Structure 1
Amino acid sequence: MADWTVVQVTDPAELVAASHLFDAPVRADGAADTLARPGHVVLLARGPDGHDVGFVSGVEMRHPDKEPEMFLYELGVEEGARRRGVASALLAALRDHALAHGCRGMWTGTEADNVAALATYRAAGAQIDRDSVFVVWDDLATS
């Protein structure tokens, strides 16, 4: 049995406390805004000591001619907890959340050379579409 559980974040302070899992420190205002937005979800993998070892974030999406789907925004597991099923449990929990909210599919993007992420997603039942291309506008104010 795992020595951690997956919990849905409802308090912005939880995200601030889990800053070590993210690319940059989580600010309280950013955490509050994320959690207040409809369809946004953040799940944490938490050890029995209260230490967070991983997270996944997602956004429910809908287009008029498609069924609702979950966009897996980001997944992260701290180095010491990798290869112990944390990412798989987070993905399963996000899938369950998506299904409970009427989503029929789930998708994400990652770098073509991110072998660990691709293996994790494959193990969770995803198909890898190597023909897709992501188009990015990093700063809309200057575009």
Structure 2
Amino acid sequence: MEIRQATTVAELLAAEHLYDGPAREDWAARFLAAAGHLMLIAYEEDGFPAGFVSGIEMLHPDKGAEMCLYELSVDESRRRRGIGRALTEALVAEARARGCQGAWVPVDTDNEAALATYRSAGAADEGGFAMLGWTFGGDD
């Protein structure tokens, strides 16, 4: 397995089977153009995108830079092989290389697989929180 940073729209579209829904070329281009956005893709020896992790580098005057692990996905047929952990560790390493002060991930408290993956990659529980959101139209 090789983990590489996605740098082209074609790479992002080729990993579409790992996303929650269909990828859009214009959104993929926008993702790549946005400062601080990062996607790492795990490729198997045959070139198959087996998983990805995306992160967003965030800045704040009193926290400096932090990396938010936005999403992690591993192809269902390739799970329980350490790919998720390797991707998480690669994102954390990239955050350190970028000078981030830390990294964090929001995760559902009942998602045992995600919790185990993040903990195995060195994450510590910082306590519960509520995540509230606003949903806008798809093109907003």
Same topology, TM > 0.5: yes
1:31 is matched with which residue: 21, 28, 38? 28
Distance (Å, rounded) in 2 between the aligned partners of 1:73 and 1:39: 12
2:17 is matched with which residue: 7, 16, 20? 20
Query: How well do the aligned residues superpose, as a CA RMSD in angstroms?
Result: 1.2
Any unmatched runs of 5+ in structure 1? Answer: none
The one-letter amino acid of 1:86's match is I
Distance (Å, rounded) in 2 between the aligned partners of 1:87 and 1:57: 12
Is the contact made by 1:58 and 1:72 (CA closer than 8 Å) also made in structure 2?
yes
Residue 110 of structure 2 aligns to a residue whose secondary structure is coil
Aligned-pair distance for 1:81?
Answer: 1.0
Is the contact made by 2:56 and 2:67 (CA closer than 8 Å) also made in structure 1?
yes
Deviations 1:6-60 (A, max 9, x none): 0100011111111000001111111110011000000000011111000000000
Residue 128 of structure 2 aligns to a residue whose secondary structure is coil
Is the contact made by 1:118 and 1:128 (CA closer than 8 Å) also made in structure 2?
no
- TM alignment of 1:60-75, pairs within 5 A: 60-75=57-72
Q: Identity across aligned pairs (percent)? A: 50
Distance (Å, rounded) in 2 between the aligned partners of 1:104 and 1:129: 16
Distance (Å, rounded) in 2 between the aligned partners of 1:32 and 1:17: 13
Q: How many residues align?
A: 137
- TM alignment of 1:1-143, pairs within 5 A: 4-139=1-136
Distance (Å, rounded) in 2 between the aligned partners of 1:117 and 1:40: 21
Moved over 3 A (4+): none
The one-letter amino acid of 2:11's match is E
Any unmatched runs of 5+ in structure 2? Answer: none
Distance (Å, rounded) in 2 between the aligned partners of 1:47 and 1:134: 34
Deviations 1:97-139 (A, max 9, x none): 1111110210111111100000111111111234211121122
- Structure 2 length normalisation: TM-score? 0.93
The one-letter amino acid of 1:27's match is R
